A and B are shown apart, each in its own frame.
Chain A
Amino acid sequence: MKDFASLFAALDETNKTNEKVRVLKEYFISVSDEDKIHTLALFTGRKPKRQINSSLVKLWAIEMANIPQWLFEESYQVVGDLGETIALLLPETTGRQDRSLGEWIAEINNLNTLTEEERKQWLQQSWSVMDQQERFVFNKILTGSFRVGVSQNLIIKALSEISGLEQSTLTHRIMGNWDPLTFSFYDLLQEKDASDDISRPYPFCLAYAIQETSDQSKTAEEMEEALGDPGNWQAEWKWDGIRAQAIHRDGNIFIWTRGEDLATGKFPELHPFLSALPEGTVLDGEAICFENGKPMPFNVLQTRIGRKNLTKKILAESPMAFIAYDCLEFAGDDIRSMPLRHRRQMLERLHEHSAFQDTFRLSPIVPFESWQQLYDLRLRARENQAEGFMLKKKDSVYQTGRKRGDWWKWKIDPLSVDAVMIYAQKGHGRRADLYTDYTFAVWDGDKLVAFAKAYSGLTDQEIKQVDNYVKRNTLEKFGPVRTVTPALVFEIGFEGINRSSRHKSGVALRFPRILRWRHDKKIEDADTIDTLRAML
């Protein structure tokens, strides 16, 4: 655990990629294989099951820190992270510990045999022998909120340099359904793939954006210059669903989402088509709500995903389909290294033979002769329930992760309104102790009505200015939320808008964010609720 805590500190302390990789390599070389695989599991989001809920952890920490509960809560508002708050508030350590990461995780996993009182004793005893950094990483593991400021790519890079295996091979091997208790570091680094995990998905190929923001819009000429002959490119609508990989192997089906969640049970409508595909098939596509031959807005899917139980009502209101756009495995063969045009043929063949074309749909190829033609079509993407276009090079292989060049997303410009900031709340992580989370309002007659929250879009410098404004212009405090004197106007961008009975404003936005701070506008110049309604 000491090594692991210092690894975490060392990774935090540098921004240099090479230095991070060096630190990771040093760590992986020096610790036991058991700790290596536990580390890999933690760094790839495979956390041990949470054995003590965080309100108990909090309660026992408050007791040990000997401060009033409100002060703990306010400290948390400042720190923005529960594990760190606890680590900072607990009294000085009284001992030391030498248990390995693996031993601590084993203790955590065994907690289910203890009574609540025993757990409390165990936890407070554990805290008392750890230093601050150990407490911090331990709390993160214990509360199941372990996230690390280092990308999976860097870990893969370090492991690749140690083992001599290709990065893409390792990326693939650490995907899927493995458990650090059964999958060993030795298995991971075998020359030949030793895994018998039939659920294992392939790493998703990801696209770069043609334009990051709407003010960097690209013209047809610029597209021509950047991407060349339109004949080399395949265009498809960019669907607003959940990216998913559908697998049929050895009589079993699996549906993985992009976040590496195994979500097979969430999509029962997709099971029949998937089971009917030949064994040894893996498809890449979009899980999306679909009705009357048309995709439904994202919020329908969002509502459904949020539900624990898929009731008859939910199933009826939000029927699912799978829009397939790639085939990664065919007849048990990994065909990712074949050019897209061949993979597309295989996909079309599978589709042709499917008896479930309602739920198994092909992402249509949008024909275009020139970039100007595609540019014009893109402006009508919303009519097609799409977010823009995906552009894929016809002779490209299916890449591992995000690689520049073969796949591009060309999104439509967001919708936008000018709105007034009315509430602010402190952020988390990198934005701890700064007012970074804002609520925005538009005019409804002479009243401001809240319609969206947004967290991103400002520069660090602007955040500092807004933070300063909030601190000096607070009207009221409701717990962590501050009401501020309305004065600042921002342009808020969003991808879509829908009616909502749950929100006072009557609308719900898709992916709202701050496009720019309108220093030139007064609050009277902000938009009205009617502007928003007109966009419905």
Chain B
Amino acid sequence: MANPLLQFNDKGIYCAAGDFYIDPWKPVDFAVITHAHSDHARGGHKHYLSHHLSRGVLKYRLGEIQLETAGYDEAIYRNGVRISFHPAGHIIGSAQVRVEHKGAVWVVSGDYKTEDDGISVPFEPVKCHTFISECTFGMPVYKWKPPQEVHDDINIWWKRNSEEGRATFIAGYSLGKAQRILQHLDQSIGKVFLHGVIANTHEALESDGIRLPPASRLTPDTNREEVRKGIIICPPSAIGSPWMRKVQPFSFGYCSGWMTLRGARRRMAADRGFVLSDHADWSGLIKAIDATQCECVCLTHGYTASFVRYLRERGYNAHEAHTYYGEEDEPAELVHETGQPADIFLTAESGGNNPDRVLKGEDIQAGDQTGRPAL
């Protein structure tokens, strides 16, 4: 029997026929990248292939890399193996990778969601023989509400905070969730401010021609009154930091699919938990898998064991795969930094430089030069 077209080895998902990897977690010669999140796009590979719209962020996060990009549905050949990107609807520039060789078609989903978020090209099912899928939220307790309802809730909450004189912090991953939140904010309520890491990410996206609604970087010079009436979009790592606590009083909300569970909401201890995810929910996963008309499913991360069992009961040839994906999706817990507070309202003499401030995973990988939010 011929080797399978794609195999899981200790470096990532490997295509022997084409000699390339998809989203490898260890350095390789040729890496095809589904999207720019840190658990899928790691540093140290010799060549990268990604979608056009991942270019700016990949360069921002990984520095100078040798990067080739392609559009959706555009065929790229390596050693006669046909590679193409297809919309995954997860974040801007996210793609499923379709690999075809000698009549066999495999698709690697990367991360995906099935609903239209208004900023990334919506998910398109791709027919294949084997589908390598994520299942981050592969349990039936995860059912998303229509996103518009969540965005309405966010705006209502922001409006009330603004009227009652509280600043509003809303936390979500800097790449993906932050743009999605921004896209649906009702800017008649107040101004939108961005944490430095997110502002940098936006500059990177804009370098690829993405146009985002207006929002300004939060700096020590930002007008206090406007901040109090406004909303500040920040990464999860900023929650509970001195940076945030300096803006009193405030209310903070957290956007994540994990906010479905009361236990996770209580752990996060946010004033508001908004169930807003860039991953497919239970029924989204099942619909997506059914639509590929595949025979075989490999599950890379999430509730893989339960989901495999469920798919088998539905007649699929389903398997679990061991990968290193999913880290970016861990709900970030409160971070209490020590050291000098990085006050967004610091005056010159009180000293705003604090290069020792420790940031968590996402932000470190975001490659911020100073390792702290740009003030």
Contacts and interface: CB of A to CB of B under 8 A. Distances in A.
Contact of B263 (A80, A89, A460): A80
How would you classify the secondary structure of chain A's contact residues: helix, strand, loop or mixed?
helix
Contact of A79 (B141, B267, B305, B306): B141
Of B262, B264, B309, B333, most buried by chain A (CB within 10 Å of CB) is B262
Given A12-B266, A78-B303, A89 B140 contact: yes
A81 B141 contact: no
A433 B264 CA distance: 8
Contacts of B333: 460-461, 464
Interface string B329-353: 0100110000000000000000000
Given A78-B141, A84-B261, A88-B260, A430 B267 contact: yes
Contacts of A65: 140
A346 B56 CA distance: 81
A359 interface: no
Nearest to B249: A16
A67 interface: yes
B129 interface: no
A477 B272 contact: no
Interface string A70-101: 11001100111100110011000000000000
A215 interface: no
Interface in B316-375: 330, 333-334
Given A15-B271, A71-B310, A429 B140 contact: no
Contacts of B121: none
A74 B223 CA distance: 50
B165 to A, nearest CB: 14
B305 A477 contact: yes
A472 B262 CA distance: 25
B180 interface: no
A46 interface: no
A433 B334 CA distance: 17
A136 B269 CA distance: 19
B271 A13 contact: yes
Given A75-B139, A79-B141, A432-B264, A70 B309 contact: yes
Contacts of B310: 68, 71
B261 A78 contact: yes
Contact of A14 (B271, B305, B313, B334): B271
B245 interface: no
A428 interface: yes
A359 B143 CA distance: 59
A432 B272 contact: no
B265 interface: yes
B111 to A, nearest CB: 18
A464 B327 CA distance: 12
Of B272, B273, B303, most buried by chain A (CB within 10 Å of CB) is B303
Nearest to B157: A13
Interface string B211-224: 00000000000000
A71 B306 contact: yes
B140 A431 contact: no
B266 A429 contact: yes
Interface in B106-156: 139-141, 143
A308 B260 CA distance: 40
Contacts of B141: 75, 78-79, 85, 88-89
A432 B263 contact: yes
A251 interface: no
Contacts of A88: 140-141, 143, 260
Given A71-B306, A432-B264, A15 B140 contact: no
B290 to A, nearest CB: 17
Interface string A485-510: 00000000000000000000000000
Nearest to A88: B141
Given A89-B141, A477-B305, A79 B269 contact: no
Contacts of B260: 88
A149 interface: yes
A342 B83 CA distance: 88
Contacts of B305: 477
Interface of B: 139-141, 143, 260-267, 269, 271-273, 303, 305-306, 309-310, 313, 330, 333-334
Which 3 pairs across A and B sit closest by C-beta, in order of nearness? Answer: A432-B263, A88-B141, A430-B266
7 contacts: A12-B262, A78-B139, A80-B263, A81-B263, A149-B266, A429-B266, A477-B305
Interface of A: 12-15, 65, 67-68, 70-71, 74-75, 78-81, 84-85, 88-89, 136, 149, 427-434, 460-461, 464, 477
